Amino acid sequence: MIASVAEFGERLKEIDPEDDHFNYKVDRVIEELAPGLAESVYPAVFAYYEANPESYCGCPGSLTHLVEHYDPNYIPALKESVRRMPSQASVLMINRILNSELSEEERVEYIEILREVAKDESIPWEVAEAAEGYLKRREEIDGAGG
């Protein structure tokens, strides 16, 4: 039984995000969470995403679904994580939020987050490219470019 967020984070670190059995291994770790702990693990999930920025980490997959289950509690931590070290997984989560019902103010905020990632030359190009792709898709959906 995993009894703390720190222990959960350590267990995640042991899993290679490119492992062919990644989803299976993550599912086993999630199943070991002590009752009531799941709603607190999103900082460990985001730390894992930040440590593996070029990997989708099974996204959306079990980790993302676990975190999103506690909407909207995880959102401030997600925004902080993306600003600290954007990753394939975290920008995908921002895009998933953009696909939901939002106020115009919220939509503008999330689009701006993706724009910042897309133009940041210090992050892995795959992450910036993913953010750019989500922005282009958003322009197609919204018509006017966000």
Q: What is the Cα–Cα distance from 146 to 141, expressed in whole angstroms?
A: 9
Place of tokens 């959960």: 8
User: What does the pLDDT read at residue 145?
Assistant: 47
Task: Return the structure tokens found at 119.
Answer: 């133009």
For 97, counting Cβ atoms within 10 Å of its Cβ (0-12 exposed, 13-18 middle, 19+ buried), the class is buried
What's the structural domain count of the chain?
1
Q: What is the Cα–Cα distance from 57 to 2, expressed in whole angstroms?
A: 20
Going from the first residue of the chain to its last (146 residues), give the mean pLDDT of each consecutive group of 10, the final group possibly shorter: 98 97 98 97 98 96 96 97 98 97 97 98 97 96 66
Eight-state DSSP code of residue 1: -
Sign (positive/negative) of CA torsion 42, 43, 46, 51? negative
Under 8 Å CB-to-CB from 112, ≥6 apart: which residues? none
User: What does the pLDDT read at residue 144?
Assistant: 54
**Which structural domain, as residue segments, surrounds residue 61?**
5-142
Sign (positive/negative) of CA torsion 2, 3, 4, 10? negative
Q: What is the Cα–Cα distance from 55 to 70, expressed in whole angstroms?
A: 23
Place of tokens 């720190």: 6
Model confidence, pTM: 0.94
Name the β-bridge partners of 2: 33
